[in-house]
Chains A and B, each alone.
Chain A
Amino acid sequence: GENVEQHPSTLSVQEGDSAVIKCTYSDSASNYFPWYKQELGKRPQLIIDIRSNMDKRQGQRVTVLLNKTVKHLSLQIAATQPGDSAVYFCAETFSGGYQKVTFGTGTKLQVIP
Protein backbone atom coordinates (compact mmCIF):
# COMPACT_ATOMS: atom_id res chain seq x y z
CA GLY A 1 0.00 0.00 0.00
CA GLU A 2 0.89 3.65 -0.12
CA ASN A 3 3.26 4.99 2.50
CA VAL A 4 4.62 8.47 3.01
CA GLU A 5 7.49 9.04 5.39
CA GLN A 6 8.05 12.54 6.61
CA HIS A 7 10.83 14.12 8.65
CA PRO A 8 11.60 15.73 10.91
CA SER A 9 8.66 15.09 13.18
CA THR A 10 9.35 18.33 15.03
CA LEU A 11 11.22 21.39 13.90
CA SER A 12 12.05 24.61 15.74
CA VAL A 13 13.43 27.60 13.88
CA GLN A 14 14.07 31.21 14.72
CA GLU A 15 11.76 33.73 13.16
CA GLY A 16 13.16 34.78 9.81
CA ASP A 17 15.03 31.56 9.20
CA SER A 18 14.02 28.91 6.69
CA ALA A 19 12.35 25.62 7.51
CA VAL A 20 12.73 22.52 5.39
CA ILE A 21 10.55 19.44 5.58
CA LYS A 22 11.20 16.29 3.59
CA CYS A 23 9.07 13.38 2.49
CA THR A 24 9.56 10.08 0.73
CA TYR A 25 6.62 8.42 -0.94
CA SER A 26 6.25 4.89 -2.18
CA ASP A 27 3.56 4.81 -4.88
CA SER A 28 5.13 5.40 -8.28
CA ALA A 29 1.64 5.93 -9.72
CA SER A 30 1.10 9.05 -7.62
CA ASN A 31 1.07 12.17 -9.72
CA TYR A 32 -0.21 14.90 -7.43
CA PHE A 33 1.49 16.00 -4.23
CA PRO A 34 -0.26 18.55 -2.01
CA TRP A 35 1.19 20.05 1.15
CA TYR A 36 -1.11 20.98 4.00
CA LYS A 37 -0.86 23.17 7.06
CA GLN A 38 -3.01 22.17 9.99
CA GLU A 39 -3.58 24.25 13.07
CA LEU A 40 -4.78 22.58 16.24
CA GLY A 41 -8.36 21.38 15.97
CA LYS A 42 -8.80 22.66 12.44
CA ARG A 43 -8.96 21.14 9.01
CA PRO A 44 -5.88 20.86 6.81
CA GLN A 45 -5.31 23.84 4.55
CA LEU A 46 -3.62 23.47 1.20
CA ILE A 47 -0.54 25.67 1.04
CA ILE A 48 1.05 24.48 -2.18
CA ASP A 49 0.93 21.51 -4.50
CA ILE A 50 2.96 20.04 -7.30
CA ARG A 51 2.16 17.67 -10.13
CA SER A 52 4.44 14.99 -11.46
CA ASN A 53 5.17 16.90 -14.66
CA MET A 54 7.05 19.49 -12.60
CA ASP A 55 10.12 19.31 -10.39
CA LYS A 56 9.77 22.67 -8.67
CA ARG A 57 7.00 25.02 -7.76
CA GLN A 58 7.13 28.28 -5.87
CA GLY A 59 4.52 30.17 -3.96
CA GLN A 60 4.67 33.03 -1.56
CA ARG A 61 7.56 32.12 0.77
CA VAL A 62 7.08 28.42 0.03
CA THR A 63 8.89 26.23 -2.46
CA VAL A 64 8.27 22.58 -3.16
CA LEU A 65 10.71 20.28 -4.92
CA LEU A 66 9.88 16.91 -6.44
CA ASN A 67 12.37 14.22 -7.42
CA LYS A 68 10.37 11.45 -9.03
CA THR A 69 13.41 9.27 -9.59
CA VAL A 70 13.91 8.73 -5.88
CA LYS A 71 10.35 9.62 -4.87
CA HIS A 72 11.42 12.55 -2.71
CA LEU A 73 9.55 15.72 -1.88
CA SER A 74 10.61 18.73 0.09
CA LEU A 75 8.96 21.90 1.30
CA GLN A 76 10.90 25.01 2.14
CA ILE A 77 9.30 27.86 4.04
CA ALA A 78 11.39 31.01 3.77
CA ALA A 79 11.47 33.93 6.17
CA THR A 80 9.39 32.08 8.73
CA GLN A 81 6.91 33.95 10.90
CA PRO A 82 5.25 32.94 14.19
CA GLY A 83 2.03 32.40 12.23
CA ASP A 84 3.74 29.59 10.36
CA SER A 85 3.75 27.53 13.54
CA ALA A 86 1.52 24.52 12.86
CA VAL A 87 1.68 20.90 11.78
CA TYR A 88 2.59 20.35 8.14
CA PHE A 89 1.71 17.29 6.11
CA CYS A 90 2.93 16.18 2.75
CA ALA A 91 0.61 13.93 0.80
CA GLU A 92 0.40 11.86 -2.33
CA THR A 93 -2.48 10.93 -4.55
CA PHE A 94 -3.31 9.77 -8.00
CA SER A 95 -5.48 12.46 -9.45
CA GLY A 96 -7.95 10.68 -11.63
CA GLY A 97 -11.25 11.90 -10.30
CA TYR A 98 -10.90 9.51 -7.41
CA GLN A 99 -8.76 11.42 -4.99
CA LYS A 100 -7.78 9.13 -2.17
CA VAL A 101 -5.00 11.00 -0.44
CA THR A 102 -2.28 9.40 1.66
CA PHE A 103 -0.82 11.79 4.21
CA GLY A 104 2.68 11.90 5.58
CA THR A 105 3.31 11.50 9.27
CA GLY A 106 3.44 15.23 9.90
CA THR A 107 5.97 17.82 11.07
CA LYS A 108 5.25 20.11 13.95
CA LEU A 109 6.89 23.42 13.16
CA GLN A 110 7.55 25.95 15.87
CA VAL A 111 8.76 29.38 14.89
CA ILE A 112 10.43 31.11 17.80
CA PRO A 113 9.97 34.90 17.86
Chain B
Amino acid sequence: GAVVSQHPSRVICKSGTSVKIECRSLDFQATTMFWYRQFPKQSLMLMATSNEGSKATYEQGVEKDKFLINHASLTLSTLTVTSAHPEDSSFYICSAGGTSYNSPLHFGNGTRLTVT
Protein backbone atom coordinates (compact mmCIF):
# COMPACT_ATOMS: atom_id res chain seq x y z
CA GLY B 1 0.00 0.00 0.00
CA ALA B 2 0.90 3.66 -0.20
CA VAL B 3 3.61 4.72 2.22
CA VAL B 4 4.61 8.09 3.55
CA SER B 5 8.07 8.30 5.04
CA GLN B 6 8.94 11.01 7.55
CA HIS B 7 12.38 11.84 8.91
CA PRO B 8 13.75 12.25 11.44
CA SER B 9 11.58 10.39 13.93
CA ARG B 10 13.13 12.24 16.84
CA VAL B 11 15.20 15.38 17.05
CA ILE B 12 16.57 17.40 19.92
CA CYS B 13 17.84 20.87 19.19
CA LYS B 14 18.94 23.92 21.07
CA SER B 15 16.81 27.01 21.32
CA GLY B 16 17.45 29.38 18.43
CA THR B 17 18.47 26.75 15.92
CA SER B 18 16.49 25.48 12.93
CA VAL B 19 15.26 21.98 12.27
CA LYS B 20 14.16 20.46 8.99
CA ILE B 21 11.65 17.63 8.79
CA GLU B 22 11.16 15.67 5.56
CA CYS B 23 8.04 13.96 4.32
CA ARG B 24 8.23 11.67 1.30
CA SER B 25 5.58 9.77 -0.56
CA LEU B 26 7.34 6.56 -1.53
CA ASP B 27 5.15 4.98 -4.15
CA PHE B 28 2.72 7.63 -5.25
CA GLN B 29 2.75 11.24 -6.31
CA ALA B 30 1.37 13.73 -3.84
CA THR B 31 0.48 17.13 -5.20
CA THR B 32 -0.76 18.06 -1.76
CA MET B 33 0.71 17.24 1.61
CA PHE B 34 -0.43 18.35 5.03
CA TRP B 35 1.51 19.20 8.15
CA TYR B 36 -0.03 18.65 11.57
CA ARG B 37 1.18 19.42 15.05
CA GLN B 38 0.12 17.51 18.12
CA PHE B 39 0.84 18.65 21.67
CA PRO B 40 0.72 16.08 24.48
CA LYS B 41 -2.76 14.77 25.19
CA GLN B 42 -4.25 16.92 22.46
CA SER B 43 -5.60 16.37 19.00
CA LEU B 44 -3.86 16.85 15.69
CA MET B 45 -4.06 20.42 14.51
CA LEU B 46 -3.49 21.28 10.89
CA MET B 47 -0.67 23.75 10.47
CA ALA B 48 -0.47 24.13 6.73
CA THR B 49 -1.21 22.63 3.38
CA SER B 50 1.81 22.09 1.18
CA ASN B 51 1.20 22.41 -2.53
CA GLU B 52 3.70 21.15 -5.08
CA GLY B 53 5.18 24.01 -7.04
CA SER B 54 3.39 26.77 -5.17
CA LYS B 55 3.23 28.46 -1.80
CA ALA B 56 1.90 26.65 1.19
CA THR B 57 -1.41 27.62 2.71
CA TYR B 58 -1.15 28.24 6.43
CA GLU B 59 -3.89 27.88 9.00
CA GLN B 60 -4.87 30.82 11.11
CA GLY B 61 -2.41 31.47 13.90
CA VAL B 62 0.50 29.58 12.31
CA GLU B 63 3.48 31.79 11.54
CA LYS B 64 4.57 31.18 7.97
CA ASP B 65 7.98 32.77 8.54
CA LYS B 66 8.64 30.44 11.43
CA PHE B 67 7.39 27.24 9.86
CA LEU B 68 8.82 27.19 6.37
CA ILE B 69 7.31 24.68 3.99
CA ASN B 70 8.81 23.64 0.70
CA HIS B 71 7.16 21.20 -1.70
CA ALA B 72 9.61 21.12 -4.56
CA SER B 73 8.59 17.79 -6.06
CA LEU B 74 5.62 15.47 -6.19
CA THR B 75 7.22 13.18 -3.63
CA LEU B 76 8.84 15.51 -1.10
CA SER B 77 7.66 18.19 1.26
CA THR B 78 9.82 19.70 4.00
CA LEU B 79 8.92 21.62 7.12
CA THR B 80 11.62 23.79 8.66
CA VAL B 81 11.10 25.09 12.16
CA THR B 82 13.20 28.23 12.29
CA SER B 83 14.63 29.77 15.44
CA ALA B 84 13.09 27.02 17.49
CA HIS B 85 11.94 27.69 21.04
CA PRO B 86 10.93 25.27 23.80
CA GLU B 87 7.25 25.97 23.10
CA ASP B 88 7.76 24.52 19.61
CA SER B 89 8.45 21.14 21.19
CA SER B 90 5.74 18.90 19.83
CA PHE B 91 4.91 15.92 17.65
CA TYR B 92 4.83 16.90 13.99
CA ILE B 93 3.09 14.61 11.49
CA CYS B 94 2.81 14.92 7.74
CA SER B 95 0.18 13.33 5.59
CA ALA B 96 -0.46 12.93 1.93
CA GLY B 97 -3.46 11.92 -0.04
CA GLY B 98 -3.85 10.81 -3.59
CA THR B 99 -5.45 12.86 -6.27
CA SER B 100 -8.62 10.89 -6.78
CA TYR B 101 -11.88 11.15 -4.92
CA ASN B 102 -11.49 7.86 -3.13
CA SER B 103 -7.82 8.15 -2.25
CA PRO B 104 -7.22 7.52 1.44
CA LEU B 105 -5.02 9.73 3.55
CA HIS B 106 -1.61 8.38 4.52
CA PHE B 107 0.36 9.57 7.52
CA GLY B 108 4.06 9.68 8.15
CA ASN B 109 5.36 8.21 11.39
CA GLY B 110 5.77 11.62 12.94
CA THR B 111 8.69 13.59 14.32
CA ARG B 112 9.12 14.22 18.02
CA LEU B 113 10.81 17.61 18.32
CA THR B 114 12.33 18.64 21.62
CA VAL B 115 13.80 22.11 21.91
CA THR B 116 16.08 22.61 24.91
Contacts and interface: CB of A to CB of B under 8 A. Distances in A.
Given A41-B110, A43-B110, A99 B105 contact: yes
Contacts of A1: 60
A106 B103 contact: no
Chain A, interface residues (CB within 8 Å), range? 20 to 34
Interface stretch (B14-22, B38-46, B76-84): B38-46
Contact of B104 (A41, A42, A46, A105): A46
Interface string B83-116: 0000000010101011111111101111010000
Interface in A86-106: 89, 93, 95-106
Interface string A61-78: 000000000000000000
A95 B104 CA distance: 9
A104 B44 CA distance: 8
B27 to A, nearest CB: 17
* Prevailing SS type, chain A contact patch: loop
B49 interface: yes
A105 B109 CA distance: 20
B67 interface: no
Given A42-B110, A43-B93, A43-B107, A100 B102 contact: no
Which residue of A42, A46, A99 has the most chain B CB atoms within 10 A of its CB atom?
A: A99
Contact of A95 (B45, B102, B109): B102
A95 B101 contact: yes
B89 to A, nearest CB: 14
B105 A43 contact: no
Interface of B: 32, 34, 42-46, 49, 60, 91, 93, 95, 97-105, 107-110, 112
